[in-house]
Amino acid sequence: MRFSLVFKLIENQVPLDIRPVVLSFFKRALTEYDGGRYLAKYYGIGAKKPFTFALDLGKCSFTKEFIDLADKKIILNFSTSSSQTGIIFYNAFLSQKGKPFPLAMGNSITLANVYMQKHKAIVSEQILCRFVAPLCLRKHEREGNKDYYLTWEDEIFNQELVNTVKEQAKKLENWDNTEIKFEILSVRPKKTVVKHHGQSIPVTIGTFVLKSNISLLSELYLSGIGSRKSAGFGYFNIIGQGGRAESWVEK
């Protein structure tokens, strides 16, 4: 299930570290919808969040602290593999239409419209995809209890992403305990750095081939891939299916 939220702004400048703003909006929407009964379901301790999102800022420029938008509009694309989650969030968002959500420096965003998207049915065990929200891959180091982040440039990136996808697959309700096979091939990869909760995080964007069974690819497509998916990472669009993956890589 995929749908889009269209926000109007008072000013055309938003924080560079914008994902926490979106998460605060999500929490307010759930708090005010149906007596707040679903807030703990998605933001309580140990809560599962089978969704991802991507921001479309249109034409914009970046400074050290802010994003300057050409238009006073933001589109937020929300995606989930769970129909129940989709219905809950869709209704919660609808309840926020027309209500200003405050930002810094006197700015605010107001939800103007919510509309459904058509998502593609996956019919092949290999797809060509483009990330519209960066792929974040976090590795936890037990010694020192530290986290660090990998991008496609790191030697262990592919294997760590495979491990992360396998753990994601095991949490699926319809997982039948069979062997999970997954492979990622770089086509036009790029490393970049984004701000999130004040931290500079190295991430991966660009075009890749993903190879796995159709059910797992469908889950990754609708709920995102990698780490911190529900914080606006790992959202991709499908731009090709089938064919020889090697030919895509060579282009």
Position 153 pLDDT exceeds 90: yes
Q: Give the containing element (helix H, strand E) for 21.
A: helix 19-32
Instruction: Provide the pLDDT for residue 65.
Output: 85
Same domain, 100 and 146: no
Give the Cα separation of 102 and 251 in Å (integer): 45
Report how many domains make up the chain.
2
Same domain, 35 and 85: yes
Share of the chain above pLDDT 70, in %: 94
- Indicate whether 121 belongs to any domain: no
Estimate to the nearest angstrom the gap between the alpha carbon of 240 and the chain centroid. 20
Among 59, 88, 116, residue at a domain's last position? 116
* pLDDT, position 251: 56
| Single residue among 55, 82, 116 that ends a domain in this structure | 116
Smallest CA-to-CA distance from 237 within 135, 116, 86 is with: 135
Q: What is the pLDDT of residue 75?
A: 97
User: Is the model more confident about 118 or about 111?
Assistant: 111
Dihedral angle sign, alpha carbons of residues 57, 100, 197, 161? negative
pLDDT bin (cut points 50, 70, 90) of residue 27 is: very high
Within this chain, do residues 68 and 162 fall inside the same structural domain, yes or no?
Answer: no
Mean pLDDT calculated for residue range 224-247: 90
DSSP state of 149: E
> Are 80 and 152 part of one and the same domain?
no
Residues for the chain: how many in total? 251
Q: Is the pTM of this model over 0.95?
A: no
Cβ density class 127-136: b for 16+ within 10 Å, e for less = bbbebebbbb
Highest mean pLDDT among 30-34, 178-182, 197-201: 30-34
**Residue whose C-alpha is closest to residue 232's, from 64, 21, 58, 6:** 21
And the tokens for 54? Answer: 């991507």
Segment 144-149 mean pLDDT: 81
Asked if residue 139 and residue 80 are part of one domain, the reply reads no
Burial class (CB in 10 A: 0-12, 13-18, 19+), 37: exposed
* Predicted local distance difference test score (pLDDT) of residue 173: 58
Q: Distance between CA 27 and CA 197 in Å, rounded?
A: 16
Q: Which domain holds residue 27?
A: 2-116
Residues 29 and 140 in one domain: no
Residue 191 pLDDT: 96
Same domain (yes/no): 164, 235 = yes
pLDDT at 178: 61
For 176-195, the pLDDT digits (tens) are: 556 778 999 999 999 999 99
| Non-local CB neighbours of 223 within 8 Å, separated by 6+ positions | 50, 51, 52, 79, 80, 81, 82, 168, 229
Q: State whether 7 and 112 are in the same domain.
A: yes
Strand partners, 239: none
Q: Are residue 99 and residue 182 in the same domain, yes or no?
A: no
Task: State how far the Cα of 240 lies from the Cα of 250, in Å rounded to an integer.
Answer: 15
Is there a domain that residue 10 lies in?
yes
- Asked if residues 163 and 111 have their Cβ atoms less than 8 Å apart, the reply is no
User: Counting Cβ atoms within 10 Å, is residue 237 exposed (0-12), middle (13-18) or buried (19+)?
Assistant: middle
Identify the band that residue 170 occupies on the pLDDT scale cut at 50, 70 and 90.
confident
What pLDDT shows up at residue 119? 83
Q: Are residues 234 and 137 in the same domain?
A: yes
Average pLDDT over residues 162-168: 88
Instruction: Based on the fold, state whether residues 111 and 28 are members of the same structural domain.
Output: yes
The rounded mean pLDDT for the chain is 91
Domain boundary among 82, 116, 150: 116
